[in-house]
Amino acid sequence: MGSSSKSSNSEWWRGAVIYQIYPRSFMDSNGDGIGDLPGITARLDHVASLGVDAIWVSPFFRSPMKDFGYDVSDYRAVDPIFGTLADFDAMLARMHALGLKLIIDQVLSHTSDQHAWFVESRSSRDNPKADWYVWADRKPDGTPPTNWLSVFGGSAWQWDSRRRQYYLHSFLTEQPDLNFHCAEVQEALLGEVRFWCERGVDGFRFDACNHQFHDALLRDNPPASLASIDEVSTVRADNPYAMQQHLYDKSQTENLAFLENLRRLLDGYGAVALGEVGDENAPPVMAQYTELGKRLHLAYSFSLLTADHSTTHLRHQVEALDHALAPTGGWGCWAVSNHDVPRVATRWSGGGAPDTRRDRLWLALLLALRGSASIYQGEELGLPEAEVPFGLLQDPYGRAFWPEFKGRDGCRTPIPWQADAPHGGFTAGTPWLPVYGPHLPLAIDNQADDPGSMLAFSRALLHWRRTQPLLRTGAIAFIDAPDPVLWFERREGNQRLQAIFNLGSEPVWLPLRDALVPLPGHPLGATAYVQGNGERRMLALAPYGVFFGTPANDEGHS
């Protein structure tokens, strides 16, 4: 179909594929066991070869690493374990030379408790930054001011003996929430964003961006229904955070005005904003946040990062977002894995053995949805979730909920570059998390020259998608199909493309009312085929088979 003439360079993000790098685990250049910026730079050829548009790099700022960089103590400094600002500049220059955009992670909703702002804020009730964080008096009986809970378990309030007040922390106690009701805080944070704009980044992924305001009246959250605990919560059902409706501790309407100020700043530099929206009813929030030209450019949620991968769940989530975005002209971004959840190869396996056919299907499905796509490092290799013993566990979230929940370390173990090298070629030292033994046969050097590997498939699929503008920007409409088949159409103007997925481990035969012509060149052609003609025309889908095709009577087809 050729390239889309409608897609301008300023809207490169629309339908783009973004590759997420978790710096600690990508590549270590100096042998200290922790991945770093020079390590990323040294391995950028691998990412460029995939055919992605941009790289999202998780936090590399100065931090005490209580939450591994998501607790920032200096927004303008590179933490020494990751390198220097000069290393950052070299990484950015190399990305641009390879035709890749750089999106950096910005954590604006909270800081580290070691940030200079918080150190000053907690020193007294009348210092210049006394109101920069969310402070509140105790109740008469000494208990916290509200019933709000931390995502990581327990109360979201921590007593501070110096101020004799509680401060709010939506995550760890070492991650105090900034007070966005304070105009000085908003201006200071815009200044931190401007610093990186001036340095030449192409965009930002704004972490937990719907946590940026709290209810100024400090009202208690009501309890959640039992159904919502199981179906819509952004955390596990055994975490008490799931037991509330989070009406007052996040997703406040005041955030819209701040996002508009943020957008005005970014537009001055041509930088893009991708927002993480962790909300139990994310689609309407995402629609507000990405209203065309006003706030964020695009946003994503946790809706496909759950254990549920049924056709009913997938269709419901995609349609819910599509319907929410339609009135606002907003744009979504999909991910099936990231640094916070078990890897999709394991999470959606149904407890079964590893299966490359299934891994290929999930990647093809992700890249066929309407919206942009985020691919987490290692998905291109089909890496399963790693097992990390408790004695080597680093994640405080996992330690708090062990053994029912083993934390996020299983998706954060180092990338295997060389199957036969110590620690998979990730480091010459002792890695911060162990390299998982079953990952070694899937190392990049083992897969690079194997035309049947997951890596070869990932490259072929990503490059093929670049030739299909309907998959980047076309509308989406689902077609009813029996389980375990997911069937939808992408449409733009008079062009149509149908994508059909067999999510099951048994072959499926589907009757076809209209003739479908397989699209040429896509790497999954051998997993499905049309047989027969007229009323007896059938589509045969192999286990985990995928079919991309166009109606035979479409313009340009016979």
Active site residues: 207, 276
Name the token pair of 279: 């909300």
Rounded (to 5) percent helix, strand, coil in the chain: 30, 20, 50
Instruction: Give the chain's radius of gyration (CA, Å).
Output: 24
Burial of 189 (C-beta count, 10 Å sphere; 0-12/13-18/19+): buried
- Taking every pair of Cα atoms in the chain, the longest distance, rounded to a whole number of angstroms, is 81
The closest alpha carbon to 228, from 251, 253, 247, belongs to 247
- Beta strand pairing call for 203-206 and 272-276: parallel
Is residue 504 within 8 Å of 526, Cβ to Cβ?
A: no
Name the token pair of 101: 């955009």
H helices of 5-64, where? 37-42, 44-50
Q: What is the rounded distance in angstroms from the CA atom of residue 310 to the CA atom of residue 321?
A: 17
The closest alpha carbon to 87, from 78, 95, 100, belongs to 78
Burial of 54 (C-beta count, 10 Å sphere; 0-12/13-18/19+): buried
Is residue 301 within 8 Å of 325, Cβ to Cβ?
A: no
Is residue 54 within 8 Å of 335, Cβ to Cβ?
A: no
* Type of residue found at 521: G
Q: What is the rounded distance in angstroms from the CA atom of residue 212 to the CA atom of residue 84?
A: 29
The string of DSSP codes covering 378-424 is TGGGTPPPPP--GGG---HHHHHHTTT---SGGGTSPP---TTSGGG
Peptide bond into 403 cis (omega under 30): yes
Is residue 80 within 8 Å of 30, Cβ to Cβ?
A: no
Place of tokens 């200290």: 32
